[in-house]
Every structure is written in C-alpha cells, then in structure tokens.
Amino acid sequence: MNDVFAGVDLNRVPHHLLTDYAMEFVDIRSYNGVNTANNFVHKDIYTSAYNTLLMARTKTNVPDLVNPNLFESNWKAARIPYTIALSGIYYQYSSIQKMHTLMPLR
C-alpha cells in the first residue's frame, strides 16, 4: 500500500484513518449510527469493522486503537455473569473521493 500511496502526504489525513488505505473487511460506511435492516452488528462484524479501522491507520499511534489481541482480551474480560457489557466504536475517518475520467484510447 505504501507504493500505491507514495504520492499522497499521509501526514495530512485528518484523524490518521484513510479507508482507501485499508483492506476493508466490512463496509464501515454502512455503520453510521443509523439503524437499517442491513446494518445489524454481531461479534464478527464488530471485529471486522475494528480491523478495517486498524488497517486504515496512516500512523501507528491513532488514539485508542489497540492491538487486536488486546481488543479481544478487553472484551472477554468485560463479559462476566449477570453483567451486560456494551461496547462501541466511534471514529472519524477519511476517504479519497473517486473521480472517473474517460480518456480517449489512442
């Protein structure tokens, strides 16, 4: 990915999360806080969304994005009998607007 984005100043990406830079495991645009029939979340989707954000990092020190093993460990530690553990992901991320230009063939 570094070769593909060699001409992009990744230091200028707001919040240091660029979805175009990531291999998307899930389309995180679907999970925008508005409930629809198609954006229900279960553990696998939640983990996929988190991993997509991890891969979207343009810097390694994005606040509160931890190693996936620590993420899983923290979640398991919070799940104890007679307790409802709620978790969520709230991040601001960027994407490059895709512009399609038709070029004549020569």
| pLDDT greater than 70 at residue 103 | no
| pLDDT greater than 60 at residue 99 | no
Measured in Å, how far apart are the chain's first and last C-alpha atoms? 30
Q: Tell me the per-residue pLDDT of 9-65, one tens digit each, with 9 for 90 and over.
A: 888 888 999 998 898 999 988 888 888 888 888 889 989 999 999 999 998 888 889
Do 96 and 58 touch, CB atoms closer than 8 A?
Answer: no
Give pLDDT, residue 73: 92
Do 92 and 15 touch, CB atoms closer than 8 A?
Answer: yes
The domain limits of the chain are 10-78
Distance of alpha carbon 42 from alpha carbon 69, whole angstroms: 18
Do 75 and 46 touch, CB atoms closer than 8 A?
Answer: no
Which residues sit opposite 18 in a β-bridge? 94
